[in-house]
Amino acid sequence: MRVLGVDPGYHRIGLAIVECAGNRVALIRSRLVETSREEDFHLRLHDLFASVQEAILEYNPDALAVEELFFAKNVKTAIGVAHARGVILLAAAQAGLPLFEYKPSVVKLAITSNGNADKAQIEFMVERLLGIDLKGRKDDEIDAIAVALCHSFKHGGKKG
């Protein structure tokens, strides 16, 4: 099973492709997609949509897993992230991909066995689970990997 994990945002999103076969998981690719603060908002959303579409076409995932919106104190930020999630969900729908949404606490629990884990704990466990070094990667990219792993663990190599 191949999963596209997405950590949504509107300034940047994390994308990760994880492959799961039985008890084995491997990171195929991860990347950070950043939009320019100088660009009009609707064009930034288009860039995010195109990046998700491109990942779907290139890696042909069996499912898309995305982190649910975490309601922050800043309403403007929450609304911007909600718009970004909308274009991510649209890309999944247009590709006919099954969509799975996970609360941040569920992802943390699946990766670290602690639903309140901090960023350092998540990074440490993702490195251990995949046997790779994540130095130099931004939190959004690591979170996308964690979301993809969470889905893989919950669905144990089964498609969808």
| Catalytic (active-site) positions | 7, 67, 140
User: Hey, how many other C-beta atoms are within 10 angstroms of the C-beta on 114?
Assistant: 13
Distance CA 7, CA 55 (A): 14
3-class DSSP assignment, residue 14: strand
- H or E stretch covering 29: strand 24-34
Helix (H, G, I), strand (E, B) or coil at 20: strand
Place of tokens 């144990």: 156
